Structure 1
Amino acid sequence: MTTVPAVLGIDLGTSSVKVALTDQVGAVVAQAVCDYPVDRRNPGWAETDPEAWWQAIRTATAQVLATAPAASVAGIAGIGLSGQMHGVVLSDAEHRPVRPAVLWADARAEPQLDLLRALDLSVRARLANPLSPGMAGPVLAWLHVHEPEVLDAARHALQPKDWIRAWLTGVAAGEPSDASATLLFDVLAADWDDEVVTALGIDRRLLPDLLPSALTEAGRLTTAAAEALGLQAGLPVAAGAGDTAAAALGSGLFEPGTVQLTIGTGVQIVTVVPAPTAESVAGLHDPVTHLYRSATAHGWYAMAAGLTGGQSLDWVRRILGAEWSELYGVADRGSRPDDPVFLPHLVGERTPYLDTNMRGAWTGLDARHDRVALLHSALEGVAFAVADCLDALPGIPSGNRDLRLAGGGTTAPAWRQLLADVLEARLHAVDVPGASARGAALIGARAAGLLDDARLTEVATPHTTLIAEPGPAAEALRDRRFRYRDTLARLRA
């Protein structure tokens, strides 16, 4: 049989996994999605059984292999990975989970942030990132205090996609794009910060060795994993990247000053920045935006991250019994001065407030308000939260700006227009469906030797299309956002 070179990209999201089979330049041949639950059994908690991830990967991979051309299936040359960031998977020496994974949206470790606040400012500056309870450092500190018996049974503390890779290859390792997002990483030394690890009371042996970059080959597919997935044993498996870094790579975000917005479960606004120096991080004691390693060998990006994207809208549509199409369809209804104000912070917020205790609300409700008014105000409130994130990102102009859009949460035309009006920005759609999965596949292609760095940059750069720009509604929405911010300030006070 004639074979066609192909790569399998696995993108492990918060509530679903996407598996994509692509050719060697990232064009999708076949793809499938499989969902799994997020357990919120206690207030502020967010967990998932890693076994549910693995079963979902098996299901989605089987669907891809069943629908892809035989020549592409036979030509699979490698596997690339992308995954939700910040959380913790504790596993034993055989990589079996010893408890459910704690996810990025989990807020239980808020008290442990005081351990980081007590550090010398020069040490905190080396972390160069906001203090957030859902990151691996505070979570591990919490687990050491509250579940010491679980820690005794654990051998590895891994990021979600790193655990998947360990399950595929039998080798536990980390890599910089995820490690830099743990609040345990020295951005100048590009390694774990042992002083911080000690201050948080974390057993250093749990932290894996770090591979050089996301593009590195991390190991080979074991016989057991190959049989479970229906693949050939011995395929190279890339280190992989955090989902935001993978999406940036998959959508060709390489040029400094380019800004990209993705609305998924949360909100990410990303721009490429220079590598940090001792001078550039010296004043970063209390930053509200993030500084992380990219999926490339030496790159960095800054990110404003919000918790109030798709998960807030999903809650609204479920409470009001609306399908996604109906929710997005009301975006062109237009804002009215007496509409209710929706505060979308159902699980706290990161950029710019860094407040896990923030909670959502509909305010200004009136007997005249109907279901459509509530749905529209929810879209409006999430758009305002996105604007708060964008305004906090360093170096971004306050108006007359251009943003690239990526991700499935920004495909509805009326929703795009509402975002353009609220953000006062021209929006350019990135012609890359599933940027994280594509990024994972390109990472796999690079690790398998199908692409070199120059060719990777060339094929990753996508076509963009201007799809929305501020219209007549922008002025009224500016007034609505003022009311939103005033309401938020009053409730927080």
Structure 2
Amino acid sequence: MGALSDVFLAIDAGTGSARALAFDIEGRLVTQAAREWTHVAVPGHPGGTVFDTDGGWTAIAGAVSEVVARLGERRVAAVAASSMREGFVLSDAEGRELWACPNTDGRARAEAEELVAEGVADEVYRTAGDWVSITAPARLRWIARHQPDVLAAARHFGMLSDWVTTRLTGAFVTEPTSGSSSALFDLRARDWSDELAGLVGIDRRILPPVVECGQVVGAVTAEASAATGLPAGTPV
């Protein structure tokens, strides 16, 4: 018998679960595993929910480890991440997560209404093609108002799939399908909008470089390898 073909691993940080799926070169599903998760409510802020980055990574690592164990001698040729839209993570200069939310987080309703009243929401829609009800502009204003120390310490902004990539490689990047769900993107330019960043009041420098889908941005680190079972050096 010939050698088993390589597989390509997709990691999905979904609303209700973390999933790992291995596909062959023809796009056929070889095996998959999942870990369900829930998002804790924010006391004192109706509708608010938090994304648990430590628990989330444990769930992702568990699902990936299960898939890797099932693959046996089959090699994982590359890894890519996807996620629920709108959820994002703020990290400090050392890469430690400071604040994270899933797409279910609704604590910034008042801030969203303010952005509508000020006309900022109209500009967000014209440029980014999205509303402000559960996207980053309102949530960032909420953080500035309720947790200003967090925003002051933030040096990296990333959507949840970007965070998975960072956990795997240490790299801070985004790609248009993910980054655009922030409502801070210029859809025509396929890049962050300096104008929207200014209107929302955030430092443009915390927004990561934009790469195209399929571009290799790094490799699985030794630390991520120990957690997931993926060989260190696997392209991501």
2:231 — aligned with what? 232
Q: 1:103 to 1:121 in 2, by over 3 A?
A: closer
Taking only the aligned residue pairs, the percentage that are identical comes to: 35
Q: Give the counterpart letter for 1:18 in structure 2.
A: R
Distance in 2 between the 1:23 and 1:120 partners?
43
Tell me which structure has the larger Cα radius of gyration: 1
Residues 280-320 of structure 1: CA distance to partner in whole angstroms, max 9, x if unpaired?
xxxxxxxxxxxxxxxxxxxxxxxxxxxxxxxxxxxxxxxxx
Q: Give the counterpart letter for 1:58 in structure 2.
A: A
Structure 1 segments unaligned to the other structure (5+ residues): 238-493
Q: What is the TM-score of this pair, normalised by structure 1?
A: 0.44
2:73 — aligned with what? 71
Distance in 2 between the 1:14 and 1:128 partners?
22
Distance in 1 between the 2:227 and 2:124 partners?
44
1:417 — aligned with what? none
Q: 1:111 to 1:30 in 2, by over 3 A?
A: same
Q: What is the TM-score of this pair, normalised by structure 2?
A: 0.89
* Contact preservation (8 Å) 1:95, 1:167: no
1:142 — aligned with what? 142
1:159 — aligned with what? 159
Alignment of 1:457-468 (within 5 A): none
Distance in 1 between the 2:123 and 2:140 partners?
22
Q: Give the counterpart letter for 2:222 in structure 1.
A: T
Distance in 1 between the 2:129 and 2:15 partners?
25
1:53 maps to 2:56: yes
Distance in 2 between the 1:121 and 1:97 partners?
31
Q: Match of 1:21, SS? A: strand
1:221 maps to 2:220: yes
Q: Give the counterpart letter for 2:101 in structure 1.
A: V
* Alpha-carbon distance, 1:145 to partner: 1.9
Distance in 1 between the 2:160 and 2:125 partners?
25
Q: Give the counterpart letter for 2:37 in structure 1.
A: Y
Aligned residues: 231
Residues 127-172 of structure 1: CA distance to partner in whole angstroms, max 9, x if unpaired?
222x232212221121122111112222111101101101111110
* Alpha-carbon distance, 1:177 to partner: 0.6
Per chain length, whose mean CA-contact separation is higher, i.e. which structure has more relative contact order (CA < 8 Å, sep 6+)? 2
* Contact preservation (8 Å) 1:106, 1:133: no
1:187 maps to 2:187: yes
RMSD: 2.0
Q: Match of 2:97, SS? A: coil
* Alpha-carbon distance, 1:3 to partner: 4.4
Distance in 1 between the 2:126 and 2:67 partners?
45
* Alpha-carbon distance, 1:123 to partner: 6.5
1:91 — aligned with what? 91
Distance in 2 between the 1:148 and 1:158 partners?
18
Structure 2 segments unaligned to the other structure (5+ residues): none
Distance in 2 between the 1:167 and 1:190 partners?
24
* Alpha-carbon distance, 1:80 to partner: 1.5
1:30 — aligned with what? 31
Residues 86-125 of structure 1: CA distance to partner in whole angstroms, max 9, x if unpaired?
11211123322113x2122222222323335523956642
Q: 1:138 to 1:26 in 2, by over 3 A?
A: same
